[in-house]
Amino acid sequence: MDLQKLLQEGDDNLVLVDVRTPAEVARGAIPGAQSIPLHLLPLNAASLDKAQPVVFYCQSGARSAQACLYLRQQGHDKLYNLRGGIMAWARNGLPVAPIDERTP
């Protein structure tokens, strides 16, 4: 899955979730992402539609891998982990911006 291409195409089914802490997110996020800190994922799992593909990311990919594993155990199967996290994303010159505070 090419996340950059999907975001450029405006895939309405794709859900992008940043599982970093609020302090990390405040430094910048991938445009269009919603913030659900990893420790709050169990409380917010029901808000993620099992029919929609969900891409998780964190700083380097470790916490987002945990998020994928947790939701897979909850019955989700369209889960993706952004390899290398936002560090790899930014290192490749891709956009990082303040996260929209209105996003759940």
State the catalytic residues: 58
Alpha-carbon dihedral sign for residues 3, 8, 9, 12 = positive
Euclidean distance between CA atoms 9 and 14, whole angstroms? 11
CA distance 78 to 17: 13
